[in-house]
Chain A
Amino acid sequence: EIVLTQSPGTLSLSPGERATLSCRASQSLSSTYLAWYQQKPGQAPRLLIYDISNRATGIPDRFSGSGSGTDFTLTISRLEPEDLAVYYCQQYNYSPWTFGQGTKVEIK
C-alpha cells in the first residue's frame, strides 16, 4: 500500500499570502495519478486537482498542482478567507487508493 504523507499538518496564513502544501509518497507513483481535494467544515470533499496538475471544473486558477515521482505540491497563490479547509492528496494508480492525512489551512 502506498502511504502519502502530507506536510505541514497545519498552515496558518493571512489572506493574500501564498500557501504551499506538500504530499510525499512512500514509493514512486510512476504515473500522473495524483489528486488534491478540499474539504470545508461539515462538507463533503471537493476535487480541486487531478492528474497532478489539471484543475477540476470550476476551480479558480489560484489553485495549482505540480510534482512527479514521490513529491507533489498544491499551491494556493493568493489565499482567500473561503480557503479555510483541510486539503487531502490522493493517489489512484495503485490499489488500494490512498489519501494523505490532510493539511489544515487556517486563515489569520
Chain B
Amino acid sequence: EVQLVESGGGLVKPGGSLRLSCAASGFTFSSYTMNWVRQAPGKGLEWLSSIDSSSFYIYYTDSVKGRFTISRDNAKNSLYLQMNSLRAEDTAVYYCAKNRGDYHGSGSPDLWGQGTLVTVSS
C-alpha cells in the first residue's frame, strides 16, 4: 500500500526539542522530493520545508529556518524533521507529504500522511 506514516509527536516544553519521523512505503521513496507541512489547531496549511531526492536542495520557510532541520535516509525510506527551540506557536499537526516528482514544478504533494500532533506547552 502506498502510504506515509508520521511518528514522534507529543508534548514538549517551550525551548525543547523533538524529532519527527515519516516512514514511506509502496513507492520508490528515493525518487521524490519530500516535504513537511503543518496545520495549527483550527488553522490553515503552512509549508515548512522540502528536500530533494539526493538531499542536495533543501528549503525552509523563514519561521523555522535555523531551528528545524529536514533530512532523509533513502536506505530506510524515511524522512525526518529535527525541531529545536520549540515555541508555543509551533503547536500543530505535522504532515509529511510527497511531491509528484523530483523537479521544480512538481511541488504539489500528491500523497500525505495522517499527521502527528506536536504540542508545545509548559
Mark A residues whose CB is within 8 Å of B.
Answer: 31-33, 35, 37, 39, 44-47, 50-51, 56-57, 88, 90, 92-93, 95-102
Interface residues on B, range: 20 to 34
CB-nearest residue of chain A to B114: A44
- Residues in A with CB closer than 8 Å to B100 are 50
Chain A binding surface, main DSSP class: loop
From residue 60 to 79 of chain B, which have CB atoms closer than 8 A to chain A? 60-62
A25 to B60 CA separation, bound complex (whole angstroms): 21
User: What is the CB-to-nearest-CB distance from B58 to chain A, in angstroms, rounded to a whole number?
Assistant: 11
Cβ-defined contact, A33 with B107, below 8 A: yes
Cβ-defined contact, A96 with B115, below 8 A: no
Mark B residues whose CB is within 8 Å of A.
Answer: 37, 44-47, 50, 59-62, 95, 100, 105, 107-110, 112-115
Cβ-defined contact, B47 with A97, below 8 A: yes
Cβ-defined contact, A46 with B46, below 8 A: no
A35 to B100 CA separation, bound complex (whole angstroms): 12
